[in-house]
Structure formats: C-alpha cells, structure tokens
C-alpha cells in the first residue's frame, strides 16, 4: 500500500524513531531533513556549509535550501512505494511548496500524524538524549550509558547532538511554537490531520500511530 505521510511534532516527541520503524515495516522511505542536513554538514558540502550555523543555533535553515533538497529527494526511486516526511515541512510556506512539488508530480498526501507531548517532558527527553555518530540511533542517557560509549545496535559512538543543550532546546521549542505549530491548523483545514498522544512507551505510541492510519 503506497502512502505519503508527514510526521509532525516538536523536537523530541519521538517522530524520528517512530517514522524509522514505520518506514521499515511498511517499505516507505523515511525522509528526515535533519539527518540529511547533518550528513551535509559532516560531508562539508555546499549545503552543509550554508546550513551549519543555523542548525547550531537551533534556528531554521532558509526555506529555499530545504525545498530544493526535498524536490531532489522525492524523485529518488525509494519514494515510489510511499514516504514518511520527518522534520519537513516546518513552516506554512514549506507546506505550500510541498503541495506544489507533489501536485507537479501528480501526487497527493494521504495523512499527517501529529505527535503530542507536553513541553516539560520534551525538555527532559532531549536533555537525556544521546545519538550514535553512525546511524543516529537514539539512546537515553542513564547512570550506565554515557557519552563516548558504544551504541549497542550498530557499534557507533554515542554522542550528544550539538543542538541538544538546554539553551538551544528552549530555542528550538520556541521556533516550533512560533513557526511549526501553525501547520497543525493548515493540515486540519486540508482534512489530513491525525493527532496521537506521545506519552507512554515507544510501543504504545507506535500502536496508536498504526491505529490512526488504519494499518492492520
């Protein structure tokens, strides 16, 4: 079943983890603009050089860079079976551009899943989040698991994302409230919005997502 979906929600609600699992289970491409930009920064490409300072401050990268990136990405063959967008669109302008990109390819969105988590919980989660420097697996920091340890899933090294520090987290949440939350109304008006409670275990949230998407 081909589906074209957006995962919406503030940083730290778990949309990347859920999108990755759903993409694998359904054979849909998981497209994370944050991951694509971090790859570009690591690779020192022209896009990476332009995006780096915005990302370090927790600010949005200029729309035109992102839209060009997405236009190219949607044409890749793995998107033909469906895709899940994670971290894009982030502004109403990007959402309108996405509609245009899809229309020009004779495609349309099937749904938008918004994962809802209170801000206090998000700050707590992001402050404890470690990612592996290889694939970006997310691990929660504990007394036993710390920065510099080896990722149990892929043997990469666990690091803290540069933008996962208290000041930048606060700024990213402000940016989300100011820019991205208006997308909820945008997609509600398009009749596409499905809201899912993001508290509970990862499995609980995954089950809720499958339910709202009517996946058996």
Task: List the catalytic residues.
Answer: 15, 90, 129, 161, 172
Please report whether residue 186 would count as binding ligand AMP according to CB under 6 A. Answer: no
Alpha helices for the chain (secondary structure H): 15-26, 33-43, 46-57, 63-74, 92-103, 119-127, 166-175, 182-189, 202-212
Q: C-beta of 3: minimal distance to ligand AMP in Å? A: 20
Using CB under 6 A as the binding rule, whether residue 20 contacts ligand AMP is answered as no
> Minimum distance between the CB of residue 1 and ligand AMP, rounded to whole angstroms?
26
Name the strand (E) or helix (H) holding 112.
Answer: strand 111-116
By CB under 6 A, the residues from 120 to 179 that bind ligand AMP are 163, 172
Which of 88, 176, 187, 206: binder of ligand AMP (CB under 6 A)? 88
Among 5, 10, 19, 37, which residue sits at the site for ligand AMP (rule: CB under 6 A)?
37
Question: What is the DSSP secondary-structure string of 41-103?
Answer: HHHT-HHHHHHHHHHHHTPPPPHHHHHHHHHHHHTSGGGTTEEEEES---SHHHHHHHHHHHH
φ, ψ (nearest 5 deg) of residue 9: 150, 155
> Residues 49 to 68: which contact ligand AMP by CB under 6 A?
54-55, 58-61, 66
Cα separation, 192 vs 6, whole angstroms: 10
Instruction: Say whether residue 194 binds ligand AMP (CB under 6 A).
Output: no
Please choose, out of 31-39, 109-117, 181-189, 197-205, the segment that lies near ligand AMP by the rule CB under 6 A. Answer: 31-39
Size of the site for ligand AMP (CB under 6 A): 18
> If binding is defined by CB under 6 A, does position 73 make contact with ligand AMP?
no
Q: b vs e for 127-158, b when ≥16 Cβ sit within 10 Å of the residue's Cβ? A: eebbbbeeebbbbeeeeeeeeeeebeeeeeeb
Nearest-approach distance from CB 51 to ligand AMP, in angstroms: 7
Q: Is 90 in the site for ligand AMP (CB under 6 A)?
A: yes
Residue 34 found at the interface with ligand AMP (CB under 6 A): yes
- Residue 198 touches ligand AMP, criterion: CB under 6 A: no
Report which of 165, 152, 174, 143 is spatially closest to residue 10, judged by C-alpha positions. 174
Q: Which residues bind ligand AMP (CB under 6 A)?
A: 11, 33-34, 37, 54-55, 58-61, 66, 87-90, 94, 163, 172
């Amino acid at each position: 079943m081909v589906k074209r979906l957006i995962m919406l929600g503030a940083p730290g609600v778990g949309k990347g983890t859920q999108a990755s699992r759903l993409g694998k289970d359904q054979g849909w491409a998981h497209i994370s603009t944050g991951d694509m930009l971090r790859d570009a920064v690591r690779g020192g490409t022209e896009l990476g050089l332009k995006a780096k300072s915005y990302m370090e401050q927790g600010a949005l990268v200029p729309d035109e860079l992102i839209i060009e990136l997405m236009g190219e990405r949607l044409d890749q063959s793995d998107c033909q079976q469906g895709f899940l967008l994670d971290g894009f669109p982030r502004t109403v302008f990007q959402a309108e551009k996405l509609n245009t990109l899809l229309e020009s390819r004779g495609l349309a969105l099937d749904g938008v899943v918004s994962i809802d988590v209170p801000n206090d919980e998000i700050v707590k989660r992001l402050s404890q989040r470690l990612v592996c420097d290889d694939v970006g697996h997310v691990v929660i920091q504990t007394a036993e698991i710390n920065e510099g340890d080896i990722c149990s899933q892929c043997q990469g090294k666990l690091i803290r994302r540069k933008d996962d520090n208290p000041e930048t987290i606060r700024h990213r949440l402000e940016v989300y409230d100011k820019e991205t939350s208006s997308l909820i109304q945008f997609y509600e008006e398009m009749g596409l919005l499905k809201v899912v409670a993001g508290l509970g275990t990862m499995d609980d949230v995954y089950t809720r997502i499958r339910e709202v998407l009517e996946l058996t």
